[in-house]
Amino acid sequence: MNLGPVKLETPLLLAPIAGYCDLPFRILCRELGGLGIAYTDLLNSRALLSGVPKSVNLAQTNALDQPVGMQLYGNSEDPLPEAALWAIDHGARVIDINMGCPVDKVAKKNGGSLLLRDCPSTLRLVERIISAVDRHAAGRVPVTAKIRLGWDEDSIVGPRLARDMERCGIAAVTVHGRTTAQMFSGRADWQAIGEVVAAVDSIPVIGNGDVTEPHHVVELMQASGCQGVMIGRGALRTPWIFERARILLETGVVGPEPSFNQKCRAILRHIDLLDRYAELPQALKGMNQRISRYGKTMGHIKPLKEVIRTARDFETMRREVRRWMLPHRDHVTAISREERRLQSAM
């Protein structure tokens, strides 16, 4: 699958997950395999241009993190075209416009899903961003958009908006299969994503929503006809989901579940990346929070999770993860009750 001139090795995308999709996590997902492109956290256009440290840090990227998409949010009164140029100059290979975030601080103030409520104004904003990007990057950087189906069930605009944005020059559209009013409740409507696919002529439509297992990728593509799949919350627990899904797409058989030790190695690598690229104390807090998600796939490891959650330095985390690794666990995904008893007694 291609996003305009940007060729992706796989049709699997990491969503711009607010609060989680930092540089260390994006690199980790890439190294585990199967990922076509990763997106940054949501970036406030005004904060970027003002040099607000938090926003600039969210946009941090490097050579290990390519191709990377930077997702911008704002409305027609915000400097989104200028922020897009800033993003290009700071490593973005794709500019993505956020039209799908449902949370209040974004959707009711600065954009996100709010852009679905005034499509004519949104289309004019899209044209301005594409024009600025094309002039600045000479056609090398595509502009894409991430939308929801509509604000609520009475205002489904996804198909029409996607069609109109394609005519403006948008290179691809990602569709989360819920309305803004739904937030993350209920089930994503994969059939409705198919209506967006049917509405456009040639640009790729990327499906998003409720993809937590590798087989969901194939099921979403079959149900909707979408050309790619963006994975969000499912990747937080299993960042190896992209490689397992890639193998499924290529062979028809789901890729193997990592062994217990392989999952420990992924956690160690995540710790190393946080240590190198993230700032304290947020870096420590990041792993304090994420160990619970990893632990859900590793059996009963409560003692390990407790140590990680309370650790005050990365070396403590590394030491404890290594203690839980044993040679025979290279072939298992969870530990036995007896092993758990022995670990608790250590």
User: Could you tell me the residue ranges of all domains in the chain?
Assistant: 2-251, 260-345
Q: What is the largest CA-CA distance in the chain?
A: 65
pLDDT for residue 313: 94
Q: Does domain 2-251 have CATH number 3.20.20.70?
A: yes
The model scores a pTM over 0.85: yes
Q: Which residue has the higher pLDDT, 332 or 116?
A: 116
pLDDT for residue 105: 63
pLDDT for residue 282: 86
Q: Of 140-144, 237-241, 293-297, 329-333, which range is least confident?
A: 329-333
pLDDT for residue 342: 44
pLDDT for residue 98: 94
Helical axes 314-323 vs 282-295, angle rounded to 10°: 20
Structure token pair of residue 223? 């149900």
3-class DSSP state for residue 14? strand
Mark out the alpha helices in the chain (DSSP H runs).
23-32, 45-50, 53-58, 80-89, 104-107, 119-137, 158-168, 190-199, 214-224, 233-237, 241-251, 260-277, 282-295, 302-310, 314-323, 337-345
Q: Is 29 exposed, middle or buried (0-12, 13-18, 19+ CB in 10 A)?
A: buried
2, β-bridge pairs: 7
Q: Of 2-6, 63-67, 75-79, 205-209, which range is least confident?
A: 75-79
**Is 93 in contact with 68 (CB distance < 8 Å)?**
yes
pLDDT for residue 4: 97
Where residue 331 falls among pLDDT bands split at 50, 70, 90?
A: low
Among 101, 119, 168, 226, the active-site one is: 101
User: The tokens 């103030």 sit on which residue?
Assistant: 109
Q: What is the mean pLDDT of residues 92-105?
A: 86
The percent of residues above 90 in pLDDT, for the chain, comes to 83
pLDDT for residue 345: 47
CB count, 10 Å around CB of 153?
A: 10
How large is the C-alpha radius of gyration of the chain?
A: 20
- The secondary structure of residue 255, as a DSSP letter, is P
- The secondary structure of residue 156, as a DSSP letter, is B
Average pLDDT of the chain is 92
Q: What is the mean pLDDT of residues 148-169?
A: 96
Q: What is the mean pLDDT of residues 227-249?
A: 97
- The secondary structure of residue 301, as a DSSP letter, is -
For residue 168, indicate whether it is catalytic.
no
